[in-house]
Amino acid sequence: MTDTTQPLSKASHYTLLDEQSADELERLRYENEKLKKINNVLMRRVEMGWGNHSSAYQSFEDAALLADKVKERTLKLQQTLHRLEESNQQLELAKHEAEHNRFELQLTNQRLSDAIESISESFVLFNADRKMVMVNSRCARFWERHNIHFEIGKTTFQEITSASLPLVDRASKAQKKVSTEPEPITQTIFKLKDGTWIQMSERKTTDNGLVVVYTDITTIMNMEEMRHEKALAEQAQLLKATLENMSQGVALVNENLQLESWNHRFLELAKIDEDIIFRGADFIELLKDSELQGSCIELIDKNSESFDGLCEKEKILNSGRVLLMRMHRISSGGYLSTYTDITERSMHQRALQESEQRIRLITDAMPALISYVNKDMCYEFVNREFEKWFHRSRTEIINHHLRDVLGDDAFSNLHIYIERAMLGQSVNFELEQQADNGSTRISNKTFIPHFDQDRQVIGFFALEQDVTEQRRTARALKHAYDYMEQRVNQRTKKISEINEQLRKEIEDRQLAEISLLEAKREADSANESKSKFLAATSHDLLQPMNSARLFAGALSDLKLDAEAHKLINSLSYSLENLESLISALVDISKLEAGLIEPVYDEFIIGDLLENIANEFRPQVLEQGLHFSFQSASRVVYSDTYLLARILRNFLTNAIRYTPSGTILLGCRRRAKGIEVYVCDSGIGIPEDKLTEIFKEFNRIDPKQRRDDKGLGLGLAIVDKLASVMGHKIDVRSELGKGSCFSVLVPYGNQDAQVVKQTSPQPIDQFNSNLQGANILIIDNDLEICAGMDELLSGWGCMVTSVSTIAELERENWLKHLNPDLIVTDYHLDNDDTGFDALEITERELGDQVPVIMITANHTNELRQVVRSRGYSLLNKPVKTQKMKMALSNLLARTKQNSDS
């Protein structure tokens, strides 16, 4: 069933010429008739004019003009007729040529039909209205097998497409454009329900027609499917082998939470027996005895609530192993679950975090701006000073571009230096910049490139120091210099007067400088005199106090009546109050003079608290109060001696202002350190007085404590000591319910080697270690020697006293005495010290004899020297019980060493 239509390209052209010629001829005929009518009318008007007017000559003239116009029009009409004849001749030639072209076109159409019929594909041609114009017999037979018939000139492309849709498996359709010149060819591959694969190729013609070719590609597609299935099988086998060799545990679960696939690593990590696992098993039930069940349920629920592709969680197992669990929801339903052992990576991360924290502490403490910028020009690290300068938090700076943080202008100024740093050059320069708050400063910047293993720049470190003041000073000096030079140039004529004035000013300044130096020498001398006065005062005041305490202690050990013991207790109480008042006054004076400097060390806070608790527990119990103690094992960084002074003042105040109830000594961890606190259930402090209690000589309502003999210096000393050490003091109180004082002590290095501080245990009054002990006393104060003799003799000791170093240098005297323990005062006569005396004893007896040094000097330097030499230190005035404990412990330790 083949038919052709005659192409009308040239025939249509000649038909169009015939129509144009006919129109032109008709128009010329109309113009000719019109001119004839105009001629007749004009002739009548001429004739009528001659008969109605008297002027014959005028009429003749008008007739002559009219004749010329008629002649002109006649000439144009003849020209038009001539052109019409030429057009008719051309039309006749066009008709002959159209007949010849029509024959050629019929011959061409026949050849085209024969060519289309000879091709092996099904071919259809549609015109611009998408109506069928031509089809070959192969296409007709193909679609007739599927009950689809064509009719030339009527059947449209849309009708064929609609009729073929029921025969097509739509899921196998695919479209693609395989070319773009001159017109694109659109190919559609589809599969019929009988299994036949068809490729339909469409292409528009130049006259907006459509050529459609149907090609049977069933054999090709079947071979492609076989190749694809083989490739899938090979991939499945490769995937299974890969799955089994993965270091991760993998489990695939369908939408019903049934197990579809897994590997051996999953069974190992989940601790599931291979005998109970099978495809289709309930995933949650399978994990009922595993540590992973709860986390898997949590990830599934999280994925179900809000699908974002991937949910993950770290799980720490009982064995210490750390797993990274990931649950990925599959678009077709179900989940892909992976389990990765990240134990080693987690340990590295913790180590890196701790290292980063230490580095962060160091950089945050530095006054310079420190930052790190990666190769994408984004910040990865900034220190605290950097945040302060830009008034932004780290989250607003990290991972943000330099341009966003610095601003366009500042970034443009730095761009040339950044480029040099990214090329591997270290850059140092100065730049003036303005902050967000409007302040300006001059910065000295250093950019140091950061290289990777291949010496490629991956970022740079930026160090920025504020040199504003230095540069401003330099500018001011330069400005002053320029100004002076200008004045000199302007006043050259008066140089002699200016020089004289300058000489006078120099002389005045020299006199003023001499006066200032003299005043400074006087101030230094006064300060030195004050320091010497404080040292002498502390020694001279505490020396008789020490004697009185020793005699009072000796009296308390005697067997006297009750009335005498009552007087002795009153004397001891008065001496103790006097001692605390003098110590407080001396401490305040030393703090104001700046004579107390902390000696920092790392130690376990629990050791210090335990010592203080043992020291104050008897006092608290003696007052009828309940004492609680909470300790900790963290290492802190502070001055042990000064921190103990603060806590002792806290406890002393708590005992003094707590009539009944409980006193608590404890500590708790804070972000920046250990908070050591002393809480009581005492009388409390009014809220408006909390800031006044730290002022000197300030006591809150002393009428409530008639027996309070203090000067209000305890908390003032605490405040000044905390300021010296840089510790923070805090107080919370409620009137009538109690108070809580605390000090925040910074953390030390937890890995540091610290020596455990042991507290001497209270001993019995009749401790056997003191009986018969041979004690050597070295003190230049005879009253102190007498008091020590009385006190130690009462404890069963044999006491020998010397007041000068010369007595120690007697030949063989020390070897003959052979003391078990030496007690020496620090200050001796003739500017000698206890160390001078101990050099003699150690030369004669060796360094095995234990030593107790007693002094009124509370300086850190002396304390460190005594500790370094292994001596025990007691501060004046010495408490008898503390003396007894120290003697007993040292003698017991010596005896234990000799036995071993």
C-alpha count within 13 angstroms, C-beta hemisphere, residue 670: 14
- Whether residue 5 contacts residue 109, with contact meaning beta carbons closer than 8 Å, is answered with yes
- Whether residue 370 contacts residue 363, with contact meaning beta carbons closer than 8 Å, is answered with yes
Please list, residue by residue across 499-525, b when 16 or more beta carbons sit within 10 angstroms of its beta carbon and e when fewer do. Answer: eeeeeeeeeeeeeeeeeeeeeeeeeee
DSSP characters for 551-572? HHHHHHTS---HHHHHHHHHHH
Amino acid residing at 524: D
- Whether residue 677 contacts residue 632, with contact meaning beta carbons closer than 8 Å, is answered with no
Q: Give the C-alpha separation, 721 to 753, whole Å.
A: 26
Q: Give the C-alpha separation, 302 to 298, whole Å.
A: 6
Q: Provide the pairing of β-strand 210-216 with 197-204.
A: antiparallel
Q: Using omega within 30 degrees of 0 as the cis cutoff, is the peptide bond preceding 182 cis?
A: yes
- Sign of the CA dihedral running 82, 86, 92, 98: negative
Within this chain, domains 243-345 and 366-470 share the same CATH topology: yes
Amino acid residing at 830: N
Chain CA centroid to CA 386, Å: 13
Radius of gyration of the chain (CA): 57
Q: Using omega within 30 degrees of 0 as the cis cutoff, is the peptide bond preceding 449 cis?
A: no
C-alpha count within 13 angstroms, C-beta hemisphere, residue 357: 9
DSSP characters for 623-645? TT-EEEE-----EEEE-HHHHHH
- Whether residue 729 contacts residue 751, with contact meaning beta carbons closer than 8 Å, is answered with no
DSSP characters for 700-739? S-GGG-TT----S-HHHHHHHHHHHHTPEEEEEEETTTEE
Q: Give the C-alpha separation, 81 to 92, whole Å.
A: 17
Given its phi and psi angles, is residue 349 left (phi above 0), alpha (psi -120 to 50 degrees) or beta?
alpha
Amino acid residing at 788: M
DSSP characters for 501-528? HHHHHHHHHHHHHHHHHHHHHHHHHHHH
Q: What is the pLDDT of residue 740?
A: 93
Q: What is the pLDDT of residue 663?
A: 93
Q: Give the C-alpha separation, 746 to 317, whole Å.
A: 34
Q: What is the pLDDT of residue 545?
A: 62
Q: How does pLDDT run across 446-477, given as a tens digit for each residue?
A: 888 988 888 888 899 888 887 777 777 877 77
Q: Which residue positions in the chain have pLDDT lower than 70?
A: 1-22, 42-43, 45-67, 70, 167, 169-183, 236, 239, 304-309, 434-439, 488, 493, 523-524, 526-560, 562-595, 696-713, 751-768, 858, 898-900
Q: What is the pLDDT of residue 472?
A: 77
C-alpha count within 13 angstroms, C-beta hemisphere, residue 327: 24
Amino acid residing at 72: E
- Sign of the CA dihedral running 489, 495, 498, 503: positive
Backbone angles phi, psi at 745, to 5 degrees: -105, 125
Helix (H), strand (E) at residue 821: strand 821-825
Q: Give the C-alpha separation, 171 to 199, whole Å.
A: 15
In the numeric block, which tokens belong to residue 193? 């329900």
Backbone angles phi, psi at 296, to 5 degrees: -65, -45
Q: What is the pLDDT of residue 664?
A: 93
Tell whether pTM > 0.75: no
CATH of domain 774-899: 3.40.50.2300
Q: What is the pLDDT of residue 235?
A: 72
Say what the alpha-carbon torsion angle 135, 138, 141, 144 is, to the nearest 10 degrees: -50
Provide the residue ranges of all domains of the chain, joining segments of one domain with +: 9-116, 123-221, 243-345, 366-470, 549-746, 774-899
Hey, what long-range contacts does 419-425 have (CB within 8 A, 24 or more apart)? 420/447, 421/447, 421/448, 421/449, 421/457, 421/460, 422/375, 422/449, 422/457, 422/460, 423/449, 423/457, 424/449, 424/451, 424/455, 424/457, 425/449
Beta bridge partners, 427, equal 447
Helix (H), strand (E) at residue 854: strand 851-855
Instruction: Identify the three-state secondary structure at position 57.
Output: helix
- Whether residue 379 contacts residue 411, with contact meaning beta carbons closer than 8 Å, is answered with no
Q: Which CATH architecture has domain 549-746?
A: 2-Layer Sandwich (3.30)
Q: Give the C-alpha separation, 763 to 886, whole Å.
A: 10
In the numeric block, which tokens belong to residue 683? 């009388």
Q: Give the relative orientation of helices 880-899 and 495-556 as an angle to the nearest 10 degrees.
A: 80
Q: What is the pLDDT of residue 556?
A: 64
Superfamily of structural domain 243-345: PAS domain (3.30.450.20)
Instruction: Identify the three-state secondary structure at position 621.
Output: helix
DSSP code of residue 319: T
DSSP characters for 112-166? HHHHHHHSSSEEEEE-TT-BEEEE-HHHHHHHHTTT----TTT-BHHHHHHHHGG
- Whether residue 737 contacts residue 665, with contact meaning beta carbons closer than 8 Å, is answered with no
In the numeric block, which tokens belong to residue 518? 């003299």
DSSP strands (E only) in 383-517: 427-434, 440-451, 457-466
Domain 366-470 belongs to what topology? Answer: Beta-Lactamase (3.30.450)
- Whether residue 311 contacts residue 297, with contact meaning beta carbons closer than 8 Å, is answered with no
Beta bridge partners, 715, equal none
Count Cβ atoms below 10 Å from residue 14 Cβ, excluding itself. Answer: 19
Helix (H), strand (E) at residue 269: helix 264-270
Given its phi and psi angles, is residue 543 left (phi above 0), alpha (psi -120 to 50 degrees) or beta?
alpha
DSSP characters for 96-126? HHHHHHHHHHHHHHHHHHHHHHHSSSEEEEE
Q: Give the total residue count for the chain.
A: 900
Return the closest-CA partner of residue 539 out of 497, 583, 477: 583
